[in-house]
């Protein structure tokens, strides 16, 4: 009765509003929670599928081989290259490279993996994604297939391991007995881009020297900032920047064997690296560059607004396009102004490992998986790799890396060839996405004055350690 | 004419056939039939996911993990409610909601008041003011991101052209939240304006005429006639905007990505990270459920106040 009386007292508009509130709340619930539902409580098969030792029989029916990648120039280059070259061998096949914004790349792949159903046959994973995908059985194991079909001796062992091996390879090495889950698609690392007209033809040789040169250049050229580099808190932008400086100043991201981060990352070398980044490098960047990533750094270089910049090689091709640059009317004129060099050294000569590998979706149809294996076998042949190099790609085979097709295709390709032996990767563990998010947000906070640099590094170390210790279960 | 002695035959009126059970639907059946598609859709798209999320919120389920989910009781809820990270995001969300909704209410009501006083061009003005509301938040976020760019943005160009210093709108802790509030206000002030305008045009004209006869001042008329009559409607608009602002995600994602650091990371954005970076589906479900509970409780308190206001 009480409730009836109370209901009767409620005026109509208010009751309607209450109903509307409940409806809106339900909508909030649905919008907020639906995404969190994922695929429901079904149990997936533990472990993953294994590819056969040889390519299975291929279909003659029309087939579209789908990749998933993020939106950047190499994605279009791959689609064009594959449709021009692979179709001469397999005319019934069309290659489609579907792209998503970089910030959504991980989510776009792993939400489909979570649903145990993918609209792609080959996932182009960052090396750090491998652990998560392998642990959850999302990608096909390729160990036997690689042994029987790929000339492993033709590759730098670490390069082959970095894009396919799990558990993660030790820096610079490959564990011959480890399982393989992918093959290299595109190699990459950072290049230093410098203004020859402002700082001279010879690039600085050490990191400290580079900072001093950038500082002088900024002072001598009003309106031009000394440095441009990745600082954004999305993707792995700010994290790669810190990790690069960390490596060069002798720091380590973790002790892989004991899974220890706290005390390793934030040791003396780690703090020195953070201090260099925040207090010596950041003041030389443009105001408001705290959310810059690949495109913004390229734009600053192309518009002549930076003395020295750092960017991924695979994203640097546009810098030579006169239509996108104010540095010259032709490619040659731009090259008179811009120089590309390997990163300066400091305590060490480490450079960040970039690039991605090809991984077969465990949920793709059998004939698509067979076609994917055939594509990968074809792609890693010597002549295909050289053609890929000539088409603007970065190959992985040593013979292709040393070929004139590659070295003459772009001014930064020599930089890549010289950097292969210097590469260091991040953590390739199932908890990668959370580890990199922690590092991104805190480094970004330090770079933008929202956090003290020392406190930021200690926070990263503590929070990352908690994630590793809990093996990624639960947690906020 | 022929006459007969036969008694007139009384034409027998056919009796209606006995009421048979018909296969046709009654009113209630028909009503059920008509609403059933909507009900089924609601059940499938809203109720079921909600209940499913509620179930998952008591487990350690991860959408990407092969491991089966285990019942963890209220552990996820306890973790969220005691987490300093969540408290920080809640505070950020509160600052944002209060800042954005207050600004939108003041501006929206002000614009509506000015428009309501116009005799001509009212329709055109209303339509023009509504344009931002018709745009996708993602599109709004993208073009504001360009406009607020510290190096190349039009806003800083305007500032420097009048001799002011450029501002790092999206990359400084102090200005990033203000930028979010300004952009949200640009887009959603028209909503408040529209509701307020509806209330203002519904105020009986004779009340103003009576006040004029009594030589009441403009302020007196506003305070004692306009505001009391529009206030309840305005409060409902505020409630809707507050609920919307509470679950803000898209503008944060496009404009600041939660940065610098996590200084503009709202609760919804944090849920997204928990759900899709860590794939801690159980925790994310509990997080979402708690957000819904907060919205419902606050809305109920608010509605009680509204009801009381109306009774008074």
- Report the chain A residue with the minimal C-alpha distance to residue B148: A288
- Determine, for residues A287 and B168 on separate chains, whether the beta-carbon distance falls below 8 Å: yes
Query: CB-based contact (8 Å) between B154 and chain A?
Result: no
What is the C-alpha separation between A170 and A161, in angstroms, rounded?
9
- If one compares A289 and B121, the residue with the highest pLDDT of the two is A289
Q: Return d(Cα A264, Cα A250) in angstroms, integer.
A: 11
pLDDT of residue B9: 52
In whole angstroms, how far apart are CA B83 and each of A175, A433, B80, B268?
A: 41, 20, 5, 15
Tell me, what's the pLDDT at A37?
A: 39
CA nearest neighbour of A271 among A247, A297, A251: A251
Q: Kindly report the nearest CA distance between residue B290 and chain A, in angstroms.
A: 9
This complex has an ipTM of 0.85
CB contacts under 8 A, B 182-221 vs A, are none
Q: What is the total count of domains within chain B?
A: 1
Residues ≥6 apart with Cβ < 8 Å to B118: B125
B231 contact A CB<8A: no
Each residue's pLDDT tens digit, B148-174: 999 989 999 999 999 999 999 999 999
d(CA B85, CA B89) in angstroms, rounded, equals 6
pLDDT value of residue B77: 97
In 3D space, the residue among B237, B92, B290, B35 whose CA is nearest the CA of residue A28 turns out to be B290
Q: Which residues of B touch A24 (CB under 8 A)?
A: 240, 243, 295, 299
Full-model pTM: 0.87
For B153-188, letters b (16+ CB in 10 Å) and e give bebbeeeeeeeeebbbbbbbbebbbebbbbbbbbbb
* CB environment A64-89: b (16+ within 10 A), e (fewer): ebbbbbbebebbebbbebbeebbeee
| B contacts of A113 (beta carbons < 8 Å) | 64
B277 touches A at CB < 8 Å: yes
Which among A26, A433, A450 is the nearest to B260, CB-wise?
Answer: A450
Q: Check the CA dihedral A215-A221-A223-A224 and report its sign.
A: negative
For residue B66, the surrounding DSSP H or E stretch is: none
Q: Do A47 and B66 touch (CB under 8 A)?
A: yes
In a domain? residue B290:
yes
Please indicate whether, in this complex, the C-beta atoms of B262 and A445 are within 8 angstroms of each other.
yes
Token digits of residue B76? 């996820």
CATH number at residue B266: 1.10.3720.10
Max CA separation in chain B (angstroms): 121
Answer yes or no: do B172 and A107 touch at CB < 8 A: no
Note whether B247 contacts A38, CB cutoff 8 Å: no
Chain-chain contact of B69 with A40 (C-beta, under 8 angstroms): no
Q: Do A36 and B53 touch (CB under 8 A)?
A: yes
Residue B101 in domain = yes
C-alpha span between B184 and B101 (Å, rounded)? 9
Do residue B281 and residue A36 have CB atoms under 8 angstroms apart? yes
| Residue in A13, A38, A137 nearest the CB of B63 | A38
Q: Select the residue of A32, A113, A433 nearest B288 (Cβ to Cβ).
A: A32
All domains in chain A, ordered by first residue:
12-181+356-393 (3.40.190.10), 190-351+425-470 (3.40.190.10)
Contact across the interface for B277 and A43, Cβ inside 8 Å: no
Q: Do A448 and B256 touch (CB under 8 A)?
A: no
Please indicate whether, in this complex, the C-beta atoms of A9 and B151 are within 8 angstroms of each other.
no
Which residues lie below 8 Å from residue B36, measured CB to CB, with a gap of 6+? none
Asked if residue A293 lies in contact with residue A237, where contact means CB atoms within 8 angstroms, the answer is yes
Q: What are the residues whose beta carbons fall under 8 Å from the beta carbon of B291, sequence distance 6 or more?
A: A28, A32, B246, B247, B267, B268, B271
- The range of the structural domain enclosing residue B105 comes to 89-311
Residue A422, min C-alpha distance to chain B (Å): 30
Kindly identify which residue of chain A lies nearest to residue B49, measuring between CA atoms. Answer: A34
B88 in contact with A at a CB cutoff of 8 Å?
no
Where residue B278 falls among pLDDT bands split at 50, 70, 90?
confident
In chain A, which residues have their Cβ closer than 8 Å to the Cβ of B310?
Answer: 11, 13-14
Give the closest residue to B59 by CA, choosing from B281, B231, B311: B281
Summarised one tens digit per residue, pLDDT across range B54-86 is 999 999 999 888 788 999 999 999 999 999 999
Closest CA to A95 of A390, A378, A314: A378
Say yes or no: B300 contacts chain A, CB-CB below 8 A. yes
Question: How are beta strands A351-352 and A423-424 bridged, if at all?
Answer: parallel
B260 contacts A448? CB cut-off 8 A: yes
Task: Give the pLDDT confidence score for residue A36 in this predicted structure.
Answer: 37
Which residues of chain B lie closer than 8 angstroms to A473, CB-CB? 60, 62, 280
Percent over 70 (pLDDT), chain B: 93
> Does residue B45 sit at the A interface (CB-CB below 8 Å)?
yes
In a domain? residue B297: yes
pLDDT for A185: 96
CB atoms within 10 A of CB A309: 29
Q: Which of A10, A44, A136 has the CB atom closest to B307's CB atom?
A: A10
Closest CA of chain B from A309, distance in Å: 16
B51 located within any domain: no
Residue B261 to residue A288, Cβ atoms within 8 A? no
Classify the C-alpha dihedral B298-B300-B304-B307 as positive or negative: positive
Average pLDDT over residues B124-153: 94
- Closest CA of chain A from B30, distance in Å: 24
Q: How far is A204 from chain B (nearest CA, A)?
A: 27
Mean pLDDT to the nearest integer, B299-307: 91
B18 belongs to a structural domain = no
- For B15-61, what is each residue's pLDDT tens digit? 666 555 556 778 899 999 999 999 999 999 999 999 999 999 999 99
Q: Are strands A63-70 and A93-100 parallel, antiparallel or unpaired?
A: parallel
Q: B160 and chain A: CB distance < 8 Å anywhere?
A: no
A32, A40, A472 member nearest B247 (Cβ): A32
> Do B280 and A473 lie within an 8 Å CB cutoff?
yes
B60 touches chain A (CB under 8 A): yes
Non-local (6+) Cβ contacts of A73 within 8 A are A314, A315, A317, A318, A392
Q: Which residue has the tokens 């404009």?
A: B255
Asked if residue B20 is part of any domain, the answer here is no
Residues in chain A: 476
Identify the residue whose tokens are 């491991």: B67
Judging contacts by C-beta atoms under 8 Å, the chain A residues touching residue B263 are 445, 450
- Look at the alpha carbons of B164, B169, B171, B177 in this order and tell me if their dihedral is positive or negative: positive
The beta-carbon neighbor of A476 closest among B47, B79, B243 is B79
Give the distance from residue A114's alpha carbon to the nearest chain B alpha carbon, in angstroms: 4
Identify the sign of the CA torsion B271, B272, B273, B276: positive
CB spacing of B291 vs A286 below 8 angstroms: no
Report the alpha-carbon distance of residue A14 to residue A42 in Å, rounded: 42
SS3 sequence of chain A? CHHHHHHHHCCHHHHHHHHHHHHHHHHHHHHHHHHHHCCCCCCCCCCCCECCCCCCCCCCCCEEEEEEEECCHHHHHHHHHHHHHHHHHCCCEEEEEEEECHHHHHHHHHHHHHCCCCCCCEEEEEHHHHHHHHHCCCECECHHHHHHHCCHHHECHHHHHHCCEECCCCCCCCCCCCEECCEEEEEECEEEEEEHHHHCCCCCCEHHHHHHHHHHHHHHCCCCEEEECCCCCCCCHHHHHHHHHHHHCCCCCCECCCCECCCCCCCHHHHHHHHHHHHHHHHHCCCCHHHCCHHHHHHHHHCCCEEEEEEEHHHCHHHHCHHHCCCCCCHHHHHHHEEEECCCECCCCCEECEEEEEEEECCCCHHHHHHHHHHHHHHCCHHHHHHHHHCCCCCCEHHHHCCHHHHCCCCCHHHHHHHHHHEECCCCCCCHHHHHHHHHHHHHHHHCCCCCHHHHHHHHHHHHHHHHHCCCCCCC
- Which candidate from A29, A135, A289 shows the least CB-CB separation from B50? A29
Interface test with A, best of B279, B294, B295, B304 (most A CBs within 10 A): B279
CB contact under 8 A, A36 and B263: no
* pLDDT value for B12: 54
Pair type for strands A423-424 and A225-228: unpaired
pLDDT digits (tens, 9 = 90+) for B196-253: 999 999 999 999 999 999 999 999 999 999 999 999 999 999 999 999 999 999 999 9
Q: Do B46 and A25 touch (CB under 8 A)?
A: no
In a domain, B211, yes or no: yes
Residues of A in contact with B231 (CB under 8 A): none
Domain membership flag for residue B153 = yes
> Is-contact A11 A18, C-beta < 8 A?
no
Contacts of B237 (CB under 8 A, 6+ apart): B105, B108, B191, B192, B195, B196
Q: What are the pLDDT tens digits along chain A (476 aa)? A: 333 333 333 444 444 444 444 444 444 444 444 433 333 333 333 457 999 999 999 999 999 999 999 999 999 999 999 999 999 999 999 999 999 998 889 999 999 999 999 999 999 999 999 999 999 999 999 999 999 999 999 999 998 999 999 998 888 888 888 999 999 999 999 999 999 999 999 999 999 999 999 999 999 999 999 999 999 998 899 999 999 999 999 999 999 999 999 999 999 999 999 999 999 999 999 999 999 999 999 999 999 999 999 999 999 999 999 999 999 999 999 999 999 999 999 999 999 999 999 999 999 999 999 999 999 999 999 999 999 999 989 999 999 999 998 999 999 999 999 999 999 999 989 999 999 999 999 999 999 999 999 999 999 999 999 999 987 666 68
Burial readout A143-171 (b: 16 or more C-beta within 10 A, e: otherwise): bebbeebbeeebbbbbbbbbbbbbebbeb
What pLDDT score does A172 carry?
Answer: 80
Beta bridge partner(s), residue A354: A188
């Amino acid at each position: 009765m009480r409730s009836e009386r109370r209901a009767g007292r409620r005026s109509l508009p208010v009751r309607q509003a209450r109903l509307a509130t409940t409806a809106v709340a339900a909508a909030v619930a649905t919008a907020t929670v639906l995404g969190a539902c994922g695929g429901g409580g079904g149990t997936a098969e533990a472990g993953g599928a294994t590819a056969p030792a040889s390519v299975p029989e291929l279909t003659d029916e029309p087939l579209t081989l789908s990749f998933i990648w993020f939106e950047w120039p190499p994605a279009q280059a791959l689609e064009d290259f594959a449709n021009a070259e692979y179709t001469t061998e397999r005319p019934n096949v069309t290659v489609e490279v579907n792209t998503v914004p970089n910030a959504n790349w991980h989510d776009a792949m792993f939400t489909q993996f979570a649903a145990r159903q993918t609209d792609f046959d080959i996932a182009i994973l960052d090396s750090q994604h491998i652990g998560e995908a392998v642990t959850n059985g999302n990608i096909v194991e390729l160990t036997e297939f690689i042994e029987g079909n790929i000339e492993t001796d033709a590759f730098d062992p670490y390069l082959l391991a970095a894009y396919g091996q799990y558990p993660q390879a030790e820096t610079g090495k490959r564990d011959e007995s480890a399982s393989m889950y992918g093959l290299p698609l595109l190699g990459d690392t950072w290049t230093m881009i410098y203004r020859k007209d402002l700082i001279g033809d010879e690039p600085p040789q050490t990191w400290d020297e580079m900072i001093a040169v950038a500082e002088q250049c900024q002072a001598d050229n009003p309106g031009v900032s000394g440095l441009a580099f990745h600082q954004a808190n999305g993707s792995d932008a700010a994290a790669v920047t810190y990790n690069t400086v960390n490596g060069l100043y002798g720091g380590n991201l973790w002790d892989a064997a004991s899974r220890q981060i706290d005390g390793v990352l934030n040791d003396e070398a780690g703090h020195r690296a953070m201090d260099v980044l925040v207090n010596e490098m950041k003041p030389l960047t443009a105001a408001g560059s705290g959310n810059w990533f690949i495109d913004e750094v390229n734009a600053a270089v192309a518009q002549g607004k930076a003395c020295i910049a750092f960017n991924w090689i695979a994203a640097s091709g546009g810098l030579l396009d006169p239509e996108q640059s104010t540095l010259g009317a032709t490619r040659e004129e731009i090259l008179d102004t811009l120089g590309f060099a390997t990163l300066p050294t400091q305590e060490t000569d480490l450079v960040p490992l970039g690039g991605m590998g090809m991984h077969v979706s465990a949920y793709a149809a059998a004939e698509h998986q067979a076609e994917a294996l055939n594509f990968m076998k074809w792609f890693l042949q010597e002549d295909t790799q050289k053609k890929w190099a000539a088409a603007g790609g970065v190959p992985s085979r040593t013979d292709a890396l040393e070929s004139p097709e590659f070295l003459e295709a772009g001014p930064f390709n020599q930089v890549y060839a010289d950097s292969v032996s210097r590469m260091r990767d991040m953590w390739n563990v199932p908890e990668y996405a959370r580890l990199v998010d922690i590092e991104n947000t805190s480094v970004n906070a330090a770079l933008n004055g929202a956090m003290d640099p020392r406190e930021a590094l200690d926070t990263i170390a503590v929070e990352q350690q908690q994630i590793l210790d809990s093996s990624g279960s639960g947690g906020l | 004419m022929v006459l007969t002695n036969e008694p007139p035959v009384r034409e027998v009126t056919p009796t209606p056939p006995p009421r048979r059970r018909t296969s046709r639907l009654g009113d209630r059946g028909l009503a059920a039939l008509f609403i059933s598609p909507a009900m089924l859709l609601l059940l499938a798209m809203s109720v079921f996911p909600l209940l499913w999320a509620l179930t998952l919120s008591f487990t350690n389920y991860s959408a990407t993990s092969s491991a089966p989910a285990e019942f963890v009781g209220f552990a996820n809820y306890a973790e969220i409610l005691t987490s300093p990270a969540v408290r920080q995001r809640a505070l950020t969300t509160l600052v944002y909601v209060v800042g954005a909704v207050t600004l939108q209410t003041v501006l929206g009501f002000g614009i509506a008041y000015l428009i309501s006083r116009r005799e001509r061009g009212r329709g055109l003005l209303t339509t023009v003011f509504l344009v931002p509301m018709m745009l996708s938040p993602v599109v709004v976020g993208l073009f504001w991101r360009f406009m607020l760019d510290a190096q190349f943005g039009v806003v800083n160009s305007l500032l420097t052209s009048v001799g002011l210093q450029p501002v790092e709108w999206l990359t400084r802790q102090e200005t990033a939240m203000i930028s979010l509030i300004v952009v949200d206000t640009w887009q959603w002030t028209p909503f408040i304006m529209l509701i307020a305008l509806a209330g203002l045009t519904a105020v009986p004209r004779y009340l103003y005429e009576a006040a004029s006869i009594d030589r009441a001042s403009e302020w007196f008329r506003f305070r004692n006639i306009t505001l009391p009559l529009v206030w309840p409607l305005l409060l409902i608009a505020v409630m809707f905007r507050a609920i919307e602002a509470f679950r803000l995600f898209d503008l944060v994602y496009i404009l600041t990505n939660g940065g610098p650091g996590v200084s503009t990371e709202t609760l919804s954005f944090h849920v997204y990270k928990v759900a899709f970076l860590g794939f801690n589906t159980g925790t994310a479900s509990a997080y979402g459920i708690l957000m819904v509970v907060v919205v419902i409780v606050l809305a109920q308190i608010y509605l009680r106040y509204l009801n009381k206001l109306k009774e008074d």
